[in-house]
Chain A
Amino acid sequence: MSMLETRAERMVINLGPHHPSMHGVLRLIVTLDGENVVDCVPVLGYLHRSMEKIAESRTIIQYLPYVTRWDYLATMFTEAITVNAPEQLAGVQVPRRARYLRVIMLELSRIASHLLWLGPFMADIGATSPFFYIFREREMIYDLFEAATGMRMMHNYFRVGGVAVDLPYGWVDKARDFCHYLPPKIDEYERLITNNPIFRGRVEGLGYIGREDAINWGLSGPMLRASAVNWDLRKVDHYEIYDELDWNVAWDTGGDTLARYVVRIQEMRESVKMIRQALDQLPGGPYENLEAQRLSGGPKSEWNGFDYQFIGKKSSPTFKMPRGEHYVRVEAPKGELGVYLIGDDSTFPWRWKIRPPGFINLAVLPKLVQGTKLADLMAILGSVDIIMGEVDR
């Protein structure tokens, strides 16, 4: 006959890839001691699609429709980095109007991404309603995207040297309307969430990571800025026309889950500010579709010159990337999205290494969750803001 004994037996549970609160197909193998998380091992790769290898047998234009599948909630950024890397390698000039259009699209995309972070994050904590509210606002952004690019999510809008098409008539007014509409809604979220005692109790001091640790783990984006590091590539790298706009880096000294929430909410406000200014300052001029420029310029077009050698007989316009290698990065909503590109004097990139922010930020998760409760695991994971599309690529 067996005897009753008290023994702290640890339970290993498998969260994901089909768990309701796992973001995408992340799988966590969690060791539990009662309700306490002892350890957690992320298992990745369920959404691996060889994004880097695919790039090596495509021209940039052919590859562009793929890239929105990295981070499918901040699609404009994946396109931006895909065109920025060859542009900077080849020294392609981008006209000012195109830069402004890019910035407007990027910031809209950042708001969309942060909105769709807020909803699931709150759902992870157990509040379902914000999910519906954020979709209301996000739909408007996607309507704007659809009007400008023809697609809601997979825009395929950026081109080497500019953007695919100019804005349709009336788009700027619609975007301005949205800029009037969104800030009151963000206030509404804050009234609903920020000072809610249950919310505060759940997130304050949770998943703390200090300044040194955050830097050492290579965190970026809101994860880094919430740990008292004022580091935003838009200010650091001076790319596109961010220097011409008046805005502040959203950062916080908390280092906890609440700080990450605060940073992202604040970033949405800053993005609205930027879009407003960019819309006001939007210059005229070409929006720079290279192929159209080349075709209209005929055989004597300067775009047929040495620097931009198109191979015109192919179905999609391509250009030869010069020999050389470099690393290009943009500030995506999740953090530093980078591409390490090696050109080989060919239309295909020789190597296309992606530095996805979600992947690097996810690495710190097991450290953050140790000793917390099972419910905290979800809150922390939500605050990291990962998209499995870019984590697994």
Chain B
Amino acid sequence: MEGIDLGNAFAQSLSGLGVPADVARALWLPLPMIVILLTVTVGVIAAVWGERKWSGMMQQRWGPTIIGLGGSIQGAADGVKLLIKEDIIPIKADPWLFTLGPAIVIIPVFFSYLVIPFGQGLVLSDITIGIFFIIAVASISPIGALMAGYASNNKYALLGGLRAAAQSISYEIPLALSVLAIVMMSSSLSTVDIVEQQETLGLFSFFSWNIWRQPIGFVIFLISALAETERAPFDLPEAESELVAGHHTEYTGMKFALFYLSEYANLILASLIASVLFLGGWSFIVPLEPLAALFGIEAANPVFQVVNALVGISVTILKATFFVFLAILARWTLPRVRIDQLLDLGWKFLLPVSLFNLLLTAALVLLSNTLKTTLPLYLPLVIFVGLVFVAMSLQKRPAAKPTAARA
């Protein structure tokens, strides 16, 4: 089944108007970039609004209420405020690195959005190394944070930058390993292929979502992604109670806004990747194409294609919203871990477990290829449920009043 090639469609429609093909191609080039910039910014504003509103609900307060409907464009107003704020470069800071830092933090995030599919063919560039590209590009960001921390000439900022670097390096490995297990099952690095591989069971594609085949990888991915995006409880680089604001202590105005933007853009990106890798991307609980086939609607039907694309986009966004919500819930519930606990968790727990998961997946993929059935791939689910069950039964029931027990 062919997806919609947006670029070609655009070029063809322009050449229909008498524009030369090369010019049409050139005109197409900036469009995806603008689309990305706009979508990400709007997404960030929505995420900030969601975070403020949800945290407000959790803390028995209102959150923003005045600007826009229910304070919905508070984020935009804040952005405008930051844009017109005076840009201060501390006199003892290194002006070049200080300016470069936020840019290096944010640009990779925007790059990563290039390969996120929102639907069949609704991806800006379906490069064959999609998910590898994201991981490769994402590891540039900590350099920016380190740069900003170092250039600020501020001890808190330096500590924050160092923490950011240490944290990113530690959690990239389990993250990459858990993604690698998925890649192994899909035998493709392309994000589109990974989603399509999760639609293989026809009407029951819900059960071919990778979350059922890779529950261990899913948990590892969630924890590592939370750490990679430097969100609480892993927000050590900007731990307010220790480092004031970490590597962006000295930043104001637009440069600060870039850090802020990158934090939320990163969060949304991680949520999108999680939904692409584990929750079947754009596919609905019951995939629309087999459903349409049941009712005798052809896949090539233009109305169906439009509906399918719209459902795909909405479903992707909904799934991502779910992960964003999870991150916000964790942020406002959990205390922060300590730096050594964070590194221990990364190196001593997540890394071995993700290696084990990788080996297990490799063995099971081999087995299922030999047996010509996908059933062995569900073995990790059995293991995972078993482990959770054992852990829960081993855990001591917390006393009704723990203090009374200790006293």
Whether A262 lies near B244 (C-beta < 8 A) is no
Contacts of A19 in B (CB 8 A): 244
Q: How far apart are the CA atoms of A374 and B403 in the complex, in Å?
A: 28
Within the complex, the shortest CB–CB distance from B353 to chain A, in Å, comes to 17
A374 to B59, CA, bound (A): 28
Using C-beta atoms within 8 Å of the partner chain, give the interface range for chain B.
20 to 34
Q: Which among A126, A136, A192, A250 is the interface contact of B336 at CB below 8 angstroms?
A: A126
Tally chain A residues at the interface, Cβ within 8 Å. 42
B60 touches A132 (CB 8 A): yes
Cα distance, A102 to B192, chains bound together (Å):
72
Query: How far apart sit A262 and B242, CA to CA, in the bound complex (Å)?
Result: 24
A378 touching B335 by the CB < 8 A rule?
Answer: no
* A129 and B339 in contact, given A194-B402, A375-B239, A375-B242 (Cβ under 8 angstroms): no
User: Is the Cβ of A129 less than 8 Å from the Cβ of B406?
Assistant: no
Evaluate contact between B339 and A375: CB separation under 8 angstroms. Answer: yes
Closest CB of chain A to B311's CB: distance in Å? 36
Q: Is B402 a contact partner of A126 (Cβ separation < 8 A)?
A: no
Taking a contact as CB atoms closer than 8 A, the residue among A122, A133, A250 that contacts B59 in the complex is A133
Determine the distance from Cα of A378 to Cα of B232 in the docked complex, in whole angstroms: 17
Contact with B along A188-204 (1 / 0, CB 8 A): 00101011101101100
Contact between chains at B156 and A124 (CB < 8 Å): no
A291 and B108 alpha carbons, distance in the complex (Å): 75
Q: Taking the nearest CB of chain A, how far is it from the CB of B395, in angstroms?
A: 10
In chain B, residues 153-171, which have Cβ atoms closer than 8 Å to a Cβ of chain A? 155-156, 159
CA distance A344 to B374 in the complex (A): 94
Minimum Cβ distance to chain B for residue A194 (Å): 5
Contacts of A378 in B (CB 8 A): 241-242
CA distance A250 to B401 in the complex (A): 14
Given contacts A196-B335, A202-B337, contact A124 B241 (CB under 8 A): yes
Is B339 a contact of A199 with CB atoms below 8 Å? Answer: no
CA distance A389 to B236 in the complex (A): 30
**Cβ A373 vs Cβ B340 within 8 A:** yes
CA distance A194 to B406 in the complex (A): 12
Which parts of B257-275 form the interface with A (CB within 8 Å)? none
Name the B residues within 8 Å of A194 (CB-CB).
398, 402-403
Contact present for A129 and B332 (CB under 8 Å): yes
Alpha-carbon gap, A21 to B336, bound state (A): 14
User: Which residues from chain B contact A123 at a C-beta distance below 8 Å?
Assistant: 241
Q: Does A86 contact B (CB under 8 A)?
A: no
Contact for A21 among B240, B401, B403, CB less than 8 A: B240
- Measured CA separation A290–B403 after assembly (Å): 43
The one of A124, A202, A269 that contacts B338, using a Cβ cutoff of 8 Å: A202
Distance from B166 Cβ to chain A, minimum over Cβ atoms (Å): 10
B-binding residues in A (CB < 8 A): 11, 13, 19-21, 35, 122-129, 132-133, 136, 187, 190, 192, 194-196, 198-199, 201-202, 250-252, 254, 259, 262, 265-266, 269, 373-378
* 12 further interface pairs, Cβ-Cβ under 8 Å (given A126-B241, A194-B402): A20-B241, A123-B241, A126-B334, A127-B333, A201-B338, A202-B341, A250-B407, A262-B406, A266-B407, A374-B242, A375-B239, A375-B242
- Cβ contacts A to B, 17 pairs, < 8 Å: A13-B156, A21-B242, A122-B335, A126-B335, A128-B59, A133-B59, A136-B60, A190-B403, A195-B398, A199-B335, A201-B338, A202-B335, A269-B403, A373-B339, A375-B239, A375-B242, A376-B338
